[in-house]
Structure 1
Amino acid sequence: MAVALEDLKFTLQEVLDTFKSCLSEHKEVFLEHYVAGWRGLVKFMNCLGSVFSFISKDAVNKIQILVNHLNGENGAHYVTIQSMVKYELDSQLVDLTKRGSFPESGCRTLLRLHRALRWLELFLERLRTSTEDSNTSVMCSEAYNESLAQHHAWIIRKAAGTAFWALPGRATFFDVMNVGSPEQVMAVLGDTLPLISEVYQVTEDLYAQNNILELP
């Protein structure tokens, strides 16, 4: 591939290790580890060229906003996603009226990553259970249509559908993951995806309980 994979140094094991650290014993999600997990996922997407750039570029922007919150003067309130949601709701820093206020709130920013995480989870699960002749474009499109598509405007959905047809084959995805043979890739995916799924579900439940799953 034209992309310098050595420079990106992505490995699926890195994502596994990061998401292992995401949840506290009380099932709180540490924002620092969540962001680190997303950095790994962005590396993964970037290893595959420009196909996922419409998602990875936005993810990079969202990651930086959350890092700014973590490193800001109110960083103590952003240690976990739970503490962030409570702080921002209590402080009226979340746009609940669809007026376009607080566009860089932690709650809104993380919601965009949360939706994209579901798409990646669904796609990677399809890769894990795929066979050598499985079509990655079809798998990715199906995962997208089940998740992110409902939150994107028509023009973005159209561009995504076109981009996915340029995806490389299954073997290239497995090579990019840098964990060994296809069997080893599937084993690490088998360890990683339940962790991602749990982090996703904890976040989904938290947002649902606070009625902020549809922030503008």
Structure 2
Amino acid sequence: MADLDDGKPLRNISEAFKELAATVETQTADVEVAPFSRACSLLSPLFGCLGIAFKFAELDYVAKVNDLAEASKSIGTLQALLDRDIEANTVRKAGSHSRNLLRVKRGLDMVRVLFEQMLATEGNSLRDPASKAYTQVFAPHHGWTIRKAVAAGMYAIPTKAQMLKKLNEDEASARVEMQSYIATSAPLSLYIDSLFLSRELGIDW
């Protein structure tokens, strides 16, 4: 993976996911767990920038990405990761690599929808983009208590300007990197879905 500039989280994310998308698009190589988990770890600061409403998501996401990073020491590809859990009959077991992969993928999807909504929404408020991203991706899998806590936390969500300042970006540079992530994460998400669906595991659990 290319050397990354740690002062620019969005650029780091953009570059890492370009490389993963290139692997998916060749259709000749499987996505490896190590670069996948490393790219996913670069999204962690974004959840932190969204404040208390997404604190649960940040903690959950980081833990599951760390699990995949650990798994990468002994498992080469995402396909092999799923197949190993199928063989051990642990796919749906709490804490399994497969279960964690599915939840990390939802984190990627949430960020993509957030970016789409940010680019489509005028003004400085992040409340509407963040609410739509949460409702579309996470809410169907959460109970009433978590949904209520997130709704309350939305009132303390930072502004778009505050978020971009934390990410060391201006609106113009952020737009380029967000558009890049939207374009590259979509095929990766579909690829992960296909791994589950081709093995008749479903993706809604």
TM-score computed with the length of structure 1 as normaliser? 0.81
Pair 1:201-2:190 in alignment? yes
Return the match for 1:185 from 174, 187, 193.
174
**How far apart in 1 are the matches of 2:196 and 2:124?**
35
SS of alignment partner, residue 58 of structure 1: helix
How much has 1:48 moved relative to structure 2?
Answer: 4.2
Pair 1:144-2:165 in alignment? no
1:130 is matched with which residue?
A: 121
Unmatched segments (≥5 aa) in structure 2:
1-5
**How far apart in 1 are the matches of 2:8 and 2:50?**
11
How much has 1:11 moved relative to structure 2?
Answer: 1.6
Unmatched segments (≥5 aa) in structure 1:
1-7, 96-101
Asked if the contact 1:10/1:176 (under 8 Å) is kept, the reply is: no
Pair 1:80-2:82 in alignment? no
- Root-mean-square deviation (Å): 2.1
SS of alignment partner, residue 104 of structure 1: coil
* 1:160 to 1:51, Cα distance in 2 relative to 1, 3 A: closer
1:62 is matched with which residue?
A: 64
**How far apart in 2 are the matches of 1:165 and 1:34?**
33
**How far apart in 1 are the matches of 2:8 and 2:41?**
10
* 1:30 to 1:128, Cα distance in 2 relative to 1, 3 A: farther
2:151 is matched with which residue?
A: 161
How much has 1:49 moved relative to structure 2?
Answer: 4.0
Return the match for 1:89 from 66, 78, 86.
86
How much has 1:146 moved relative to structure 2?
Answer: 1.1
Percentage identity across paired residues of the two chains: 21
Task: List 4+ stretches of structure 1 deviating above 6 A.
Answer: none
More helix by share: 2
Q: How many residues align?
A: 196
After TM superposition, the structure 1 = structure 2 runs for residues 42-53 of structure 1, keeping only pairs within 5 Å, are 42-53=44-55
SS of alignment partner, residue 146 of structure 1: helix
How much has 1:22 moved relative to structure 2?
Answer: 1.9
How much has 1:14 moved relative to structure 2?
Answer: 0.5
SS of alignment partner, residue 86 of structure 2: helix
TM-score computed with the length of structure 2 as normaliser? 0.85
